Amino acid sequence: MTTAPERVVLLAEDGRPIGDALKSEVHHEDTPLHLAFSCYVLDDAGRLLVTRRAWSKATWPGSWTNSCCGHPAPGEPVEDAVTRRLRQELGIEVTDLRAVLPTFRYRAVMDDGVVENEVCPVFVARCEDPIQLSPDPTEVAEHEWVDWTTFRSDALAGRREISPWCRLQLDVLPPVL
């Protein structure tokens, strides 16, 4: 079975969808504004799942970041995309999925000039069975469960290197998730 190439939703400056484009062609030095999402997954003990992006990723390869990031397909509700990507990237089912920063937007530039330019709603979810985790190695190089408070304070103090979007999100996420 052949999988169709992944497409992303292009956005106007006011956040309205204005079309779509192949994901493989959208990230470059003049990346158009597009729709994405970030998700922070916590276990029942309140630990956060952090992931290290696969070294083959086009943007920020090898960077530690929040649990999962991705792009909704055209016409796909963002919540459905989050659930889909958590299954695909991490092999997990989640509960209590909720938007905590529904209008988050950022722009970041890699050292090589490649740009991320996204309206990126941020979600939090619960994973009741962290043992079931089975990361896709094409998406995730490493993962670990860490104390949320320690992760947040270390990242904000510069003691832990993370992706630029995760750093910007931590600036506005509450101390308790």
Does the annotation count 139 as an active-site position?
no
Cα distance between residue 91 and residue 23, in whole Å? 22
Set 116, 118, 127, 139: catalytic member = 118
Set 69, 120, 127, 166: catalytic member = 69
- Strand pairing of 105-109 and 64-65? unpaired
Is-contact 46 127, C-beta < 8 A? no
Token pair for residue 21?
């484009």
Does the annotation count 166 as an active-site position?
no
Cα distance between residue 131 and residue 120, in whole Å? 28
**Which of the residues are catalytic?**
69, 118
